[in-house]
Amino acid sequence: LPAAYDELRGLLREAATLRSLGTLAAWDQETMMPPRAGAFRAEELALVSRLAHERFTHPRVGELLAACESDAGLLADSAESANLRGIRRDYERATRLPPGLVSEISRTSSLALEVWRQARGMSDFPSFRPWLDRLVALNRDKASCLGVPEGGELYDALLEDFEPGMTAARLEAVFAPLRRELAPLIAKAATSREPESVSVPVELQREFNLHVAKQVGFEFEAGRLDVSTHPFTEGLGPGDTRITTRYREDGFTDALSSTLHEVGHALYEQGLPKQERLGQPLGEPASLGLHESQSRLWENQVGRSRAFWTWALGEARRVCGEAVRSLTVEQIHRDVNVVRPGLIRIEADETTYNLHVMFRFDIERRMLRGDLPVAEVPSAWNARMAADLGLAVPDDRRGCLQDIHWAAGAIGYFPTYTLGNLYAAQLWETLTAEIGDLEAQLERGEFSGLVAWLRRNIHAHGRRHTAEELCRSLTGRPLDPQALISYLSRKHA
């Protein structure tokens, strides 16, 4: 390989290594950090993120990239030329944003987060409104700097950060039929019955969750499972992937759902070729939507199946003993698949969840366009809760103030959750056909066949293709809501 490419990859690796130190500090903040360290931690994070940005946007990176782009040998290699296209895209996006705008967004959102926490606590949207106004305006500036694709809209420029290649118009085309088909399905399946509650000591749950994570294929020599208020996954680098979950004495199946979700993310991180490709597109996930498909697939398609619980309940009995003695596979299977419309997205069941996401997409897209004044967000929100889920929103705390995303300055993030569900269902159809006896494998607690399929077909490719290109090449079809609709219909039939 040419010397310019070596040097370029060295600089990218250094930028990624700096970012990784920031991520490690952020992981620590959520799991271990003492309360009074907050202000200094913010300084540490700001410094490493500035250094990483400077390293990545250095003019030398541009020179080396240009040299590589005129190297016939590199261009003839399809993997390396895809890698170079990805680096070019990232470099352009990073250098198009004026540093003043970047720091203004980060300063405004860290202040807005504080205001939002207070406002949510008191259900006081008016106090948050000017901050949301400001963040929408800043996001508009950001989108204009990044550039709107031909025939596209401002939203597309923001979406590109989370879901490369996706557009708002394409999302609308996929979401509209999904929303239409979910309504009758939910009306038929919805129940107000509360799942039976069992109490399992947290220490036993911890042991059970560690056991399942290990059995599924999470490599503990290359990762950790800890506890945090909001579960998350951080892929720090080669050999280091951190996940968290949370336990409640009466939340036995919830904790396992969280763990399986994060293990799904972690398997993707552990399956990326980071040793050779750290900081390069081919060593990074294709998109947040595809990342979410990996977590949802383990949480839902595996973790809510009868086959999985046939194995897992036996293990739970062995580890947790008396506490789970009364549970049956049928009961768990029914309880983890209940459809119960609610006000809160993060508590929503698998079926109603997508409605929460799709109306957030509509609202943020209209805010960005200027079609929906920020002052009217609560009424727009409440109207959609009534239309889509049949629920009256009693206050903004349980309405438009519930999520952190807008306060953190993130517009264009929400759709990736539903994209994850859509990709998971579509990939599941293909992989069950290809693996053949997957159900029998799950019943025996054998996960290596599934992990190997995901490794080979998804994880190993990094960001060589967009999520939808990968979906098309694996399933033979572009992204389409039918797989998710039929998966949910079969389940509730």
Residues that bind Zn ion (CB under 5 A): 295
Minimal distance, residue 346 CB to Zn ion, in Å: 11
Q: Which is nearer to Zn ion, 259 or 295 (by Cβ)? A: 295
Give CA separation, 63 vs 66, 68, 80, 93, 448, in Å.
5, 9, 17, 16, 44
Q: Is the dihedral of CA 347, 352, 353, 356 positive or negative?
A: negative
The DSSP result for 4-45, as a single string, is: HHHHHHHHHHHHHHHHHHHHHHHHHHHHT--GGGHHHHHHHH
Q: Which is nearer to Zn ion, 280 or 287 (by Cβ)? A: 287
- Whether the CB-CB separation of 123 and 397 falls below 8 Å is answered with yes
Q: Which is nearer to Zn ion, 295 or 421 (by Cβ)? A: 295
- Find the helix packing angle between 288-296 and 467-475, rounded to 10°: 50
Minimal distance, residue 417 CB to Zn ion, in Å: 8
Minimal distance, residue 139 CB to Zn ion, in Å: 22
Q: How many CB atoms lie within 10 A of CB 442?
A: 22
**Residue facing Zn ion at closest CB distance:** 295
Minimal distance, residue 196 CB to Zn ion, in Å: 27
Q: Which is nearer to Zn ion, 288 or 442 (by Cβ)? A: 288
- Tokens encoding 147: 């550039």
Minimal distance, residue 353 CB to Zn ion, in Å: 12
Q: How many CB atoms lie within 10 A of CB 238?
A: 17
Q: Considering the candidates 80, 160, 262, 350, report the single residue annotated as catalytic.
A: 262
Q: Which is nearer to Zn ion, 291 or 461 (by Cβ)? A: 291
- Whether the CB-CB separation of 225 and 245 falls below 8 Å is answered with yes
Please say if 262 is a catalytic residue: yes
HSE-CB for 342 with a 13 A CA cutoff: 17
Q: Of 361, 405, 378, whose CA–CA distance to 230 is shortest?
A: 405
Task: Supply the residues annotated as catalytic.
Answer: 262
